Structure formats: structure tokens, C-alpha cells
Structure 1
Amino acid sequence: MAELYIGLMSGTSLDGVDGVLADFSTSKPTVVRHASAPFAINLRAELLALNSPGDNELHREALAANALARSYAAVVQELLASGGAAPAQVRAIGAHGQTVRHRPQEFDGTGYTLQLNNPALLAELTGIAVVADFRSRDLAAGGQGAPLAPAFHQGVFSRPGQTVGVLNLGGISNLSVLGADGTVLGFDCGPGNGLMDHWCQQHTGQPFDAGGAWAASGQVIPALLQALLAEPFLAKAPPKSTGRDLFNPSWLQSRLAGFGTAAPADVQATLAEFTASACVADLQRHGKDSQLLIVCGGGALNTYLMQRLQAGLPGVAVESSQAHGLPPLQVEAAAFAWLAHRTLGHASGNLASVTGAAGPRVLGAVYPA
């Protein structure tokens, strides 16, 4: 008998919602259906604005969370309709929420991470139990609260006796190193698609550089690349996580000082090289015996970026997760379905080796149907 869960993901790229209906009745979950929906322009703009301090934030955050829950509910309804499932057949929805601030271990030693969401409203709109707030328990246990996907990556992509890298290229890039000996390391590498998307929107009016064609038309600016790679976060040892709190337009603008005459396409090429270089360096540093790098997230659809990763890793097979059973845009949503499944089973969802928490913890809060 099917054991159905829904996973929802809206990441730092802010392009919209991805959702999966997944069956957990076998040892490895199977995605039954996938659905996605772009954010309305005004909601995307508000979510982006809330990544930075502003006026009347509490009011705006609350209303944005309501709008986000309604966007989530629309994707859930599409999944149910296309999968021929009734709400009563789905055990839970794993709804991560939209990260707008991520400052673990800062200020008072614990810090905070904030994901906008209204899981109570989502439970009301869908008639399905919702599991949300996955990060805060890990933070309370001394961890980074991120990344959370490596435990799922281990479950679906690991290979006995072989070290495998799994790279998620969302708004921020994060790497899981699945060791041949069963160990797992995971951490954020750098800006992922976030800076490239911002620059593309600013100069072409397009939300992203489709296939990396614009970046491919430019030339890397070596001095700018070195200035970008000098960011101290890149040299930090794991556990480490980051977000738009660091890699944001203001950060980029400060690095572009002195490069005001650079052609926009050349800057885009340099940003692509920056993203690829940070990921390559981390795999070489922490997974040097890897012969396979599985890439997921929207960046896996960027042909030029995938080529730059492969150029930096000549001895490694750089492959889309599509070739390993899960299309790139389904992996992170499936991870949150898996986390909801773990929560309802009273099983831990974090890996202390990844987040730096004091130990395994059951993550998330449950909002019953």
C-alpha cells in the first residue's frame, strides 16, 4: 500500500514553488508526481525585499507568509489532482518555508534562522497535516540548521565503497560528500545561482540566464574573479552555511568597485566561473577521492555552468541527478517530503557531522489536519 507524503520547496533563487508527491512504502522513496508554480511578481518582490531590513517588517512578513501558504496550497492541489489522490491519503506535507534570514550561532551563540511560512493556514487549506520549521531544533542543539538535504542525499544517491559528491545548485550552492566509508559531510559552498540571477535580471530583464548562454558569450575577468574568490566564507571549514545575508547585491556591488567599465556579459561569465570555482575547490578539498558529482537544482539546467564544473574536475564524472533517478528540480522537494516522513516516524532528520549540532534530533513541528 502506498505511503504518500508531499514535499514543498521554495529556495533562495525565489523563482517559485516545486512540489512532489512521493511514495515511501519501499526502501527508497519514489516520486509519483511533480508540480511547480512561479511566484506572483509582487510576492517574489516582497520575499526578496524581506531578505534585508526594512520598514514595518512584522506586518509585511505575516502577510507574505499567508500569500506563500496559498501558493503552496495551489501546488498541493495540482499534485493531488494529477496523482489521483485524496487529502486523506497523504500522511503529511513537508513545507520548509521561505528563508529570509539565516544567522546561525551569531550574536548570542545560538543565533537564528527565519523561514516565512504559515503552516496552520496550509493545513486548513489542504486538509493535510503539515510539518514545518525544520531548522530551529538543530540550531537549538548548537548546529547551523543547514544544510538538511545531505541525509536525504545519502539515502538516495550513496554507493557502497564509493565516494560520491552531490551538489545542489540553487540560489546558494551546497555540497554533500557521501564517503565510501558511510560518513557524510555537507555544507554550503557559495552563491550558487543567486548572483548570476540578480545580474541577469538587472541587465537583460530575464530572471535567469537560460542555459548559461549569456555567460558563455562573455569572457572571464581574472582580477574580478580573484576579488570574488577572496571572500573569507569560502575558506572556512565546515560546518558552515550561508544565504542572501552574505551573497547579495550589496556584496556584489562592493566587489565590482574598480570594474565599472566591464561589459555585463563578462561580469556574468565571471560570476559563473566564481560559482563553479567555489564548488570545485570544495569537492577537491573535502571529497578528493570522488569520481562522481551528481548535480541537482536549477543550476543543473545551466549547460555552461555544468561545462565549467566539468572543466574544473577533469577526473570526475559531472552528471545531472536526472541520470540517477531524480530530475534536478525534484530533489530538494523530495528531501522535505523525506524529512516530514522522518518527523512523523520520530526519527532524526539532521546529521551532526553536517550541521555541527550536539547530536541527532527529530526536526520540525507538526500542524495536524
Structure 2
Amino acid sequence: MFDSHLALIVLVILLALTFDFINGFHDTANAIATSISTKALRPRTAIVLASVMNFIGAMTFTGVAKTIGGKIADPLSLSNGMVVVLAALIAASIWNLFTWYYGLPSSSSHALIGSLTGAVITSAGFSAVNFHGFISILEALILSPLLAVVAGFTIMTLIKVIFHYSVPHRINRRFRILQVFTAAFQAFSHGTNDAQKTMGIITFALVAGGFQNSLHIPVWVKLSAALAMALGTSVGGWRIIKTVGTRIIKLDPGSGFSADLSSALVILGATFLKLPVSTTHVISSSVIGVGTARRFSTVKWGTAQKIVTAWLVTLPVTALLAGLSYGVCAGIGRLAAAVLL
């Protein structure tokens, strides 16, 4: 006999892993754009490195996953929780593909959080949203880019002071070598935060569907999410690589190193605090901070403005998309139930 409940959770898991895959190639640019643009790494080498380090990072932590799984809404309180997750994933995936196509480094984190919140509201009303948890997540998403600007500015300023009298050719060669390590560090930190979001959304669905009664992250969820992100990373996001690597500032090895190190530190710090942040926001902001330290006029503020605009519209647009997706999914579910009965 056809088990619609089981079929729905399988569909949710497959869509979540698809979102994770899209997130991988959408956000690959964030981890390797600077090292490619400064020629510290060849594109193929950079993508392989990012894939491996993303996988390792994804397998290392689970705190962010539990935050996503329980801080926005209580999955046990939703009567239609699996449909909520399904609608959220559809909306977030649509937005990720749209922004990837146009080369905008928008936030997969904002997309997922906005979509989940919009789907919860449509399903059960505003009272179903844990606004205390939602606001704490929103604060991390807002503060982390500001910290990245400060960190990028500070590290780049220190490098300028320390190596002021050094021969540029020699220093560039050394920083290109260092960039291999900072690119790896950045990809690792990306995995520790971004892959956790998919783990959290799958666990949310498992609890909502009655397949488990706690937010414990099963090993198979960790492994599948880590693999999906690593595979997505291996595809690469060349449109966004061009935006982050060349259209904000013209990077040299020293500034690329500064941007990589500052953003990786901010992302990893958020992971330790179990807070989901946007790796896109953090990395783009660190590049802006580095450019400001070099010379304010070197930053291409027109591109920066487009990126900020994409950041601002992501939450409300994905929330609306998720609301529409929930309506469609719930309607299809009722129609299917009527046909089967």
C-alpha cells in the first residue's frame, strides 16, 4: 500500500540535499574567488580543495544545525510540518538559482531562513514563529558582515604597515603561497556553517513527521549533507566567482589573503557560537573592508550596492515565495488525498 507519509519525507530529504548541492556551487565562489583572481590557485585545483575542505568542515560540527532545526519554530507544534519544509526548500532553491544565474552573491542562509519563516507563518500563523530565536539568528546575520568589514580592514592595514618597505614581487609570491592555506581554511569554515543548515532542515522535517522526537542529528544526515555540498562545490559557480573576485575590488595576493583570513575567522567564530551566518555576506564584506583599507576609491561601490540590495530583498522575497509554495503544495496534497480516497 502506498505510504504518502513516507513518500513525503523522502521527497523533502531529496529536495533538501538538492538545495545543499545548489548551495555548494552557488557558494563555491565565496571560498575560492579571491585565490583564483590573484592566481594563487588554478580554478580546478581551487575547486577540488574547496570540495574536500567543505566536506571535512561539514562533518565536524552540528550546533548550527540544531539552531536551524529548533530556533525558528518548534517542529512538534506544526500539524503540517513536512509540507512547511518542502515549501521552504522550493522557495529557497528558486531564489538561489535566480541569483546564481544573474551572478549575484546573495545569501543561501537568508534564503533558507526567510523561506522557513514564511512557510511557518502561512501554515500556522505568526504565533507559530519563535521570534526570540528568529531575532537572535537575524542579529547574527546582520552583525557578521559588519565584523567582516572591520576584520578585513584591520588585517589589511596591519599587512600594509608590516610590509610597507618590502619588495612587491617577493611579497606577492609569498602571499600566493599563504593563500592556498587561507583558501582551505575558508572552505573548511564554510562547511562548518553552511552545510549545517541543510542538516538542520532535514532534522526539522524528521521531527515534524514523527520519525524522531529530538533534534539529534543522525550520522546519515551529516554524511549525506556533507557529500551533497562537496559535490555541489565541485561544479563551481563561475558567475559569482567573477563578481566576488573582480567586480568589488581588484585583488592582489596580500589583499586576497586578508579577505580570506578575516572572513574565515568570522564564520568559524559564528559556528562555535552555534549561529548561522551568511558566508556570502561575510566574504563579500571582508573584501569591501580590505578594499577600504587599501584605498576607499578602489572599491567598486556600484557592485557593492547591487550586492547589498540583493541581501536586503532576500528575506522578504523568499518568505513570500515560501508562502506561495506552501499554498501550492498543500493544495496538491489535498487533491492527491481526495483522489486516493
Fold equivalence (TM over 0.5): no
* TM-score, length basis structure 2: 0.28
Point out the structure with the larger strand share. Answer: 1
Point out the structure with the larger helix share. Answer: 2
* TM-score, length basis structure 1: 0.26
Higher relative contact order (CA 8 A, sep 6+): 2
